[in-house]
Amino acid sequence: MPTPNPSAAGSEPGGRPLPDDAVDAVLAAELGDALVTRAADIDPRYFTAYNEPAGVRPRALVRPRSVDDVSRTLALCMRLGQPVVPQGGLTGLARGAVALGGEVVLSMERFAGIEALDAAAGTITVRAGTPLQAVQEAAGAAGFTFGVDLGARGSCQIGGNLATNAGGNRVVQSGTARDQVLGLEVVLANGDVLTSLGKMVKNNTGYDLKHWFIGSEGTLGIITRAVLRLHPRRAARHTALVALDEYDGAVNLLRRLSTRFGNDIGAFEIMWPDFYDFGVKLTGTRSPFADPHPLYALIEHAGFDSGDDGERFAAALTDALDAGAIRDAVIAQSVADARALWAIRECTAEFPVRLDAINFDVSLPIGEIGAFVDRCRAALDRQWPGNVAYFFGHIGDSNLHVTVDGHSLAGVEHHAVYAFVYEMLRPLHGSVSAEHGIGLLKREFLPISRSATELAAMAAIKHALDPHGILNPGKLF
């Protein structure tokens, strides 16, 4: 029988915590100066979250170059009772990787690189600090596609993508970050290295440990390496912008297209008119439609270049038009056309600059999203007349984004807006975080989406794997 509690085995945290200004010296003495940056010397980028002012300076910065470095760091911190914040590219939107005061930051940026690509198995073995874009490029060079893509691809790290179970643009086709993982290596709170780097699709030998850590936001262990599934490259992409009468029509269109093309449908992005008009304005283009419409869908067919993919896709949209299922459609005739259509949807990159953005990333059963948008907009208008809000989402993934512009709400705290919108999800059993995670930002709203029994089960597991609570304390729970 194995030891019942791996994290408790062999080490107990030392007596009282060290004084704040002694931690970096102790770490440097035990781990070496090459690994440890003293508190005073830490560059502010290690304590500054995306689009925020600099936060709290950590007690020390550790930048491991190997799995063993991570293991030694955690074993030492556990002995010292020293909290640790794991850090990837710091591009998360839920403040899950920022220090709150008194922590050591463990950045994975130096443990980067691709260790292997197995073309027969269709897998890539990567280190946690590897930027997402580097994974995508290595996959592409071997004739594959990696299943996760998102705006921060150049600076986010694959370890962070897995720790937060990132979503992004390809979920409707390839699933979330979780669905890309075949094998995972994790360092536990006590420094034990849990290596499950199998390349096999099927492996029913006990609990599937990787799923315990994916999406756990660094609270159960630190991901060091992963074996990721690659997908055959879909070379033929056809993009259309469709105008619709109403939300239910969009759901029907998605079903209609899925029945005809399966998961060759690579994107299905819905934009309500406020968002669409704002996107058109921000991109400085003009709408390809002469008249305004109640709803817009940006749809991508991503296939294997069988020769007539484009014709089939166009025929399906023509059929939908003939059947009265859609109002109008334009199909991109060139890469430039397609980019122009995508630019409208991707105007969100400008949100941090143009807006005082209060962002929501919620999920609901797909059939309920349309009615929720109507109710939410009406409720916001009653509560804060004159508010400006943008609704859009990956509805194929049941994911709705809402951005309220704080500039339109003079004197209203962001927190009041969060509480107001999240509260509307409660009766619908909606999720307060579809893809961004909980981190620090949504912690207080977690009970809207999770029952007391669920939260208690999560806490039991947290306690089992990190009994002294040194891993990313204050996040998620």
Looking at residues 382 to 441 of the shown chain, list those that interact with its own copies (rule: CB under 8 A). 394, 396-399, 429-438
Tell me the window of 59-67, 77-85, 197-205, 404-412 that interacts with its own copies (CB under 8 A). 197-205
Q: In whole angstroms, how far apart are CA 335 and each of 51, 238, 310?
A: 31, 9, 13
153 within 8 A of 147, measured Cβ to Cβ: no
From the CB of 245, what's the least distance to its own copies, in Å?
A: 16
Is there binding between residue 323 and its own copies (CB under 8 A)? no
Helix (H, G, I), strand (E, B) or coil at 32: coil
State the CB neighbour count (10 A cutoff) for residue 375. Answer: 13
- Residue that has been written with the tokens 């600090």 in this structure: 129
Q: Region of 386 please: left (phi>0), alpha (psi -120 to 50) or beta.
A: left
Is there binding between residue 198 and its own copies (CB under 8 A)? yes
Binding-residue pattern over the window 63 to 102 for its own copies, x denoting contact by CB under 8 A = ----------------------------------------
Q: Which two tokens stand for residue 260?
A: 């005809």
351 within 8 A of 339, measured Cβ to Cβ: no
Nearer to its own copies, 21 or 208 (CB): 208
Contacting its own copies within 104-143 (CB under 8 A): 118-123, 143
Is there binding between residue 205 and its own copies (CB under 8 A)? yes
Is there binding between residue 326 and its own copies (CB under 8 A)? no
398 within 8 A of 406, measured Cβ to Cβ: no
Phi/psi of residue 56, nearest 5 degrees: -85, 130
Contacting its own copies within 144-183 (CB under 8 A): 164-165, 167, 171, 175-176, 178-179
Nearer to its own copies, 21 or 311 (CB): 311
Is there binding between residue 215 and its own copies (CB under 8 A)? yes
From the CB of 41, what's the least distance to its own copies, in Å?
A: 34
- The Cα 344–Cα 395 span in angstroms is 17
Tell me the window of 12-20, 82-90, 271-279, 359-367 that interacts with its own copies (CB under 8 A). 359-367
- The Cα 212–Cα 207 span in angstroms is 9
Q: Give the largest CA-CA distance in the chain.
A: 75
Nearer to its own copies, 203 or 333 (CB): 203
Phi/psi of residue 216, nearest 5 degrees: -90, 5
Tell me the window of 3-11, 19-27, 331-339, 377-385 that interacts with its own copies (CB under 8 A). 3-11
57 within 8 A of 46, measured Cβ to Cβ: no
- Residue that has been written with the tokens 């995670």 in this structure: 437
Element holding 225 (H helix, E strand): strand 222-229
Question: Which listed residue (37, 73, 449, 472) binds its own copies by CB under 8 A?
Answer: 449
Nearer to its own copies, 204 or 334 (CB): 204
Contacting its own copies within 250-309 (CB under 8 A): 251, 255, 258-264, 303-304, 306
Nearer to its own copies, 188 or 341 (CB): 188
Nearer to its own copies, 192 or 300 (CB): 192
